[in-house]
Amino acid sequence: MPSCVLAYSGGLDTSVILGWLQDEGYDCHCVYVDVGQPCEDREAILQKAHDCGSKSARIVDVREEMCRDFAFPTLQWQAKYEGIYLLGTSIARPIISKACLEVAREVGAEAFAHGATGKGNDQCRFQLAAEALDPNVKIIAPWRMESFRNSFPGRTELIEYCDIKKIPVKASAAKPYSSDENCLHISYEAGELEEVDNNGVGMVDFGMGVSPQDAPDATEEVTIGFESGMPVSVNGKKLGALDVIETLNTIAGRNGVGRIDIVENRFVGMKSRGVYEAPGMTALYHAHLHLEQLTLDRDLVHLRDQLSPVVAEMVYYGFWYTPKMDALLAFIKEAQKPVTGEVKLGLYKGNLEIHGRTAEKSLYDAEVASMEGGGSYDQTDAEGFLRLMGLPSRVQGTVRPRSY
């Protein structure tokens, strides 16, 4: 009998897919990849998988690895998809594929199944990562199969199937939107959020913090420490990657930081509207950028800024396990070596202020920069500098005078 690994959440969709795969003749090994989903009884989810006929079921906790090896390198690039989105869902998908394929190799499964739809980005991220790691893996994506969609055209049919199969599910009324959460962020989309003329931020019941209007009336300060561009401490306390994120989620969340509402361009071609919250990562991006201003030279930063949108696209589309990304990650690791120091942020009703920054390898020289005299800069040198910089323009102006 053929076997497959199923990325399993225990929700309605993956519960139905587990039963359907068994109907199709597969032995199924369910893998719950823990990326920080909230308020879920993980042991109950595993028991449900066993009760529903799964050949095996396990939890794989990848939270620390995801923060350290995926989220923080993306942060070092200051990568934001289309200049706004901090890529919280995108970052999680390649490591979910990796975890599932590791289980597939262990149990001898030849297929990897997931519940992503045929319209979204996640199908791309799962499949591109899986095929890069195992070129021979078979991908089973039921929502891309017409026979599956004909059997389950809507939520009613999914629930009816669970009733017939005696699969326990919480058959609650449809929410006005759907959400996906991990320790990096929560995304909200679909349902009523597909109407772009409504107030998405006003509609969503956010889960990681308060609104700016409900945040405290006093500024809260937080100090974030970095070593070679990697966040390593909060308020002077050394922390692991996951603890940095969770600590800053709490601090920034209670101050209303990190909410956005965007219309983005999906990889598959259509536009979609999403509301996102990422309080901890928003604070990290802000602090990291301002530490770089002290420690990195102009040309290196400008080159990084040219490549940052490329990295954001690759993460968003799902091209994590590629030679191009390998090279870009090696580049940023080298570029970030001087980015060590601390940044003190002031958080106030959704706003982030810089209240101080220090770096042991700071390139900022107050005497050189000062408008007062002193330092090693001789203003007389600027005369020759500007004559050289202006030479092409003077030659052009002589040959082809401009009207003014």
Binding residues for L-citrulline: 85, 90, 121, 125, 178, 187, 264, 276
What angle do the packed helices 122-133 and 298-317 form, to 10 degrees? 100
**Angstrom distances, CA of residue 345 to CA of 242, 312, 355:** 20, 25, 5
**Whole-number Å distance between alpha carbons of 321 and 129:** 6
Sheet strands side by side (includes 178-181)? 178-181, 186-189, 271-277, 259-265
Q: Residue ranges of the alpha helices (H) in 84-240? A: 88-107, 122-133, 146-151, 155-165, 200-203
Annotated binding site: 7-15, 85, 90, 115, 117, 121-122, 125, 178, 187, 264, 276
For residues 70 and 79, what is the distance between their CA atoms, to the nearest angstrom?
12
The pair of three-digit structure tokens given for residue 82, joined into one six-digit string: 């289309």
State the catalytic residues.
13, 93, 122, 178
Question: Which positions make up the binding site for ATP?
Answer: 7-15, 115
Closest CA to 182 of 65, 356, 339, 353: 65
Helices (H), 223-297: 241-253, 279-295
